[in-house]
Amino acid sequence: MSLTLSRRRFLAGGLSLTGVCLAGPSWSNTARPALPIPPLADGTNGEPVDLTIRTGLWSFKPGVMTPTLGINQDYLGPTIRTRRNTELNLNYHNTLTEGVSVHGHGLHVPGNVDGGPQLEMPPGERWQPTLSIVQPAATCWYHSHTHGKTGTQTYRGLAGMMIIDDDDDAVSKELPNRYGLDDLPVIIQDRTFDAAGRLVYSLKDAGEDGWFGDTVVINGAMSPVADVPAGKVRLRLLNGANARFYILAFADNRTFYKIASDGGLLEAPVPMKLMEMSPGERCEIIVDLSEDTSAELLTFFEDDIDAEEEGILSGLTGLLDGPAQPAAPASLLLKVDRSLVAHTAPVPEQLATIIRPSESEIKQVREFVLEMDHGEGDGSHTGHGGDHAAHAGHGNMNMTINGAVMDMSVINERVERGVWERWRIRSDQGAHPFHVHGCSFLIEQMEGANATADQRGWKDTVVLDDDDWSEIVVRFDYLASEDYPYMYHCHILEHEDQGMMGQFTVTDKTG
Ligand code: C2O
Ligand code: CU
Ligand code: CU
């Protein structure tokens, strides 16, 4: 069964965990690691931020050192802090023995500094882009975008968070913003380890839904604990997994408030009890701990829930009860320390103003169809809906958009700068998070339905389900030339590396 069915059920049912007692995961008395907080790399004063891409050794499991990749550190990279209306100077240095390109995901910057596959740094080389940050406050991220190697390099650790502040935005000041204290980066990933503790990854052995790790790591730690003040705490959640969709909920079924999506603040906080996140997406949430001693954020595998025929509620309880069930979902424990100064101010009722284009402003419509093409002529063709046994080893599957696999020498679309467009995107098979560079867009339709309140903010990734259209409206304000085009692609990194990606230019009208 594909994971897409669960999403339909999950979204359509407006499901909640009401009445379900989610017992705490089985961490018994084992000491849990502290949530690693990536150091802040301050880019707000215009000084170059040095980012050294290197190999490392990181302890995901106590006493086991795992060979990894990282930026300035052994695994993942620093959180780059920048500010609206400033210039961010980055100084990447690739010390690996393979090429690397690093993309700023969510940034509104021109193609020549976007960090797509055309901007690969050969071994030993540097790349020093200057980025003019003009967009509103947001949680973005940066990660490997090396042609054909995005999946493996990101999996091994080449990713980090980027926070854009906005000093002129009064609302931002009213939100918890003390990094590492009540404003926490939460990078959710899954990894598989072999007996020696090494990361296991193989693009060619990935199933058709991409590479799934069996162990969740949060900022590189398994089920970590963070000490937080007894007040409002802001989590900047990033699904940094290669392929996995997560469903997030608190163990006590508490309400939290989603305040921001990929591209910045929502118009108003949206109360939620569970939330889906696809690869590449960011969500900022506020959780109120003023009355608590702790709260536990659980990360469910959407595909595990899907395995339960009886629906999501039994799925969630089933994961937690009974000896024969899979391990309890991994979690992030927020432990209240009353000696810390708390942020107690209410969350502002209005966060941002989002102006959607009127119908008459939309000048162009484009359609994109994402297809998974079961390697014709290689003898392993099983047809759509083929059985699960055929899922291992789809290395020669063609992943296409509008019938074409990614070709660095082909410009697939040509877009005019500053003009609103409607993009209609459909999945022929399977669920895909579709991501577009160089912009934030607005979702009109998602999986055939109107976008819900929590999806009506600025986005750069939209989920497509089996055989449903999603529709976005988008406008590009920066240039991307044929030499340095932007990309659109599926953010399941194995799909991207297998060709589910296209290139487009943004130019001013000529003549
Ligand atoms: Cu986050 Cu083109 O990627
Ligand atoms: Cu991107
Ligand atoms: Cu995909």
103: Cβ below 6 Å to ligand 1?
Answer: yes
Distance (Å) from CA 373 to ligand 2 centroid: 24
**Which residues fall within 8 angstroms of residue 170, CB to CB, at 6 or more apart?**
none
487: Cβ below 6 Å to ligand 1?
Answer: yes
Instruction: Tell me the ligand closest to 399's alpha carbon.
Output: 3
Distance (Å) from CA 329 to ligand 1 centroid: 27
**From the CB of residue 148, how many other CB atoms can be counted at a distance below 10 Å?**
14
Distance (Å) from CA 249 to ligand 3 centroid: 25
The full set of domains in the chain, from first to last, is 40-169 (2.60.40.420), 179-336 (2.60.40.420), 359-507 (2.60.40.420)
Can you tell me which atom of ligand 1 is nearest the CA of 141?
1
pTM equals 0.91
Q: What is the pLDDT of residue 448?
A: 81
Q: What is the pLDDT of residue 328?
A: 57
Instruction: Tell me the ligand closest to 116's alpha carbon.
Output: 1
Q: What is the pLDDT of residue 65?
A: 97
Distance (Å) from CA 503 to ligand 1 centroid: 12
Residue identifier of the C-alpha nearest atom 1 of ligand 1: 105
Distance (Å) from CA 194 to ligand 1 centroid: 28
282: Cβ below 6 Å to ligand 1?
Answer: no
280: Cβ below 6 Å to ligand 1?
Answer: yes
Decide if 329 contacts 300 (C-beta within 8 A): yes
Can you tell me which atom of ligand 1 is nearest the CA of 116?
2
Decide if 447 contacts 470 (C-beta within 8 A): yes
Instruction: Tell me the ligand closest to 397's alpha carbon.
Output: 3
Token duo for residue 441 = 């867009």
Q: What is the pLDDT of residue 382?
A: 39
Token duo for residue 409 = 């020498």
Point out which residues pair with 140 in neighbouring strands: 162
Distance (Å) from CA 3 to ligand 3 centroid: 12
437: Cβ below 6 Å to ligand 1?
Answer: yes
Q: What is the pLDDT of residue 364?
A: 98
Between the CA of residue 46 and those of 79, 112, 195, what are the distances in Å?
16, 19, 45
CA distance 338 to 448: 46
Instruction: Tell me the ligand closest to 104's alpha carbon.
Output: 2
DSSP letter at 215?
E
User: Containing H/E element for 314?
Assistant: helix 312-320
* pLDDT tens digits, 223-258: 999 999 999 999 999 999 999 999 999 999 999 999
Q: What is the pLDDT of residue 164?
A: 98
**Which residues fall within 8 angstroms of residue 354, CB to CB, at 6 or more apart?**
266, 267, 442, 456, 457, 458
145: Cβ below 6 Å to ligand 1?
Answer: yes
**Which residues fall within 8 angstroms of residue 287, CB to CB, at 6 or more apart?**
232, 233, 235, 250, 254, 256, 257, 295, 297, 334
489: Cβ below 6 Å to ligand 1?
Answer: yes
Q: What is the pLDDT of residue 447?
A: 80
CA distance 251 to 272: 13
495: Cβ below 6 Å to ligand 1?
Answer: no
Can you tell me which atom of ligand 1 is nearest the CA of 496?
2
Distance (Å) from CA 105 to ligand 1 centroid: 5
**From the CB of residue 279, how many other CB atoms can be counted at a distance below 10 Å?**
28
Tell me which residue of 460, 484, 493, 479 sits closest to 411, measured CA to CA: 484
Q: What is the pLDDT of residue 510?
A: 77
Distance (Å) from CA 105 to ligand 2 centroid: 4
CA distance 332 to 135: 30
Instruction: Tell me the ligand closest to 464's alpha carbon.
Output: 3
Distance (Å) from CA 154 to ligand 1 centroid: 11
Tell me which residue of 498, 510, 505 sits closest to 211, measured CA to CA: 498
Between the CA of residue 450 and those of 11, 455, 470, what are the distances in Å?
12, 9, 9
Q: What is the pLDDT of residue 379?
A: 39
CA distance 49 to 71: 11
25: Cβ below 6 Å to ligand 1?
Answer: no
Residue identifier of the C-alpha nearest atom 3 of ligand 1: 105
Distance (Å) from CA 500 to ligand 3 centroid: 7
Strand order in the sheet with 232-239: 215-218, 183-191, 232-239, 282-288, 256-261, 264-272
**Which residues fall within 8 angstroms of residue 112, CB to CB, at 6 or more apart?**
119, 129, 480, 481, 483, 484
Point out the residues of the chain with pLDDT beneath 70.
Answer: 1-30, 304-328, 374-396, 511
